[in-house]
Each structure stands twice: as C-alpha cells, then as structure tokens.
Amino acid sequence: MLEPKLNADGTVSLGSGNETISLSAAELDQLLERLARVRSQMTEKVPEDPPAIQGVVSNPAYMVRTDNQTKASLLRIRHSGFGWLNFEIPSHEILNMKKMWKAIVDNLELDPYAEFYESGRQPTGRPH
C-alpha cells in the first residue's frame, strides 16, 4: 500500500518500501483523476450502498449548468480533497431531486421567505 506524506514544501510523497515519489498538488490531482477513471473500469464495481460516513465536506461550493436540448443538468461539487466532481443529472432525476429537496425543506420547517442567507454568505450555486 502506498503511504502518503505531506512535505514541508507543499508536495506529497508517496512511498512503498524503498521507493518514493513526490507530487505537486496539480500532479496529485491528475493522478487522482486517472485512478478514478481506472477504478470505474474495474470488474469489482463501487458498491451501490454508501459506506459509513468517515468525513464530511461542510458547505461545499457547487455550480449547476442546464442543457435545454437534453433537459439534463451538470451538477459540479467541490471536494477539498478530490477537487471538482461532475455529475450529469437526467431530467427524471432532476424531478426526483426536486421532490426530495421539497420534502427536506418541509421536514426541517425551513421558511423560504425568511432571511434566506442568514450567514451573509451569498449562494455558491449558480444556475446557468
């Protein structure tokens, strides 16, 4: 197993036995992307059920782009370790998500007419 170590110069060293390589943040991003592509092609698929929660990114930045031709949306969410994750959501799932978020708003008794951004922070998601 590769052992990662954050170096004082901001690079990451990956070591296995006597072998070590150092990567910049950009190189590590490229490696993570390549590993994710290879992982998606493996015969042992990512489990359908999510694992136990080990870490949470609080209030991540996100963006949404819509496509009027396909009626799909591109949802982009920024993870502090994995970078920008991109998800194409088809129209039927957009409608399912609308129902889900409405149920969440109702369950949490959120008032959409109250001071919406109480923290003073502007929304990070922008429909396009």
- pLDDT score, position 61: 96
Strands 19-23, 12-16: pairing is: antiparallel
- Residues whose CB is less than 8 angstroms from the CB of residue 89 and which lie 6 or more positions away in sequence, other chains included: 72, 73, 74, 75, 97
pTM for this predicted structure: 0.74
- What is the tens place of the pLDDT at every residue in 19-68? 999 999 999 999 999 999 999 999 999 999 999 998 899 999 999 999 99
CB burial class (10 A; 0-12, 13-18, 19+) of residue 127?
exposed
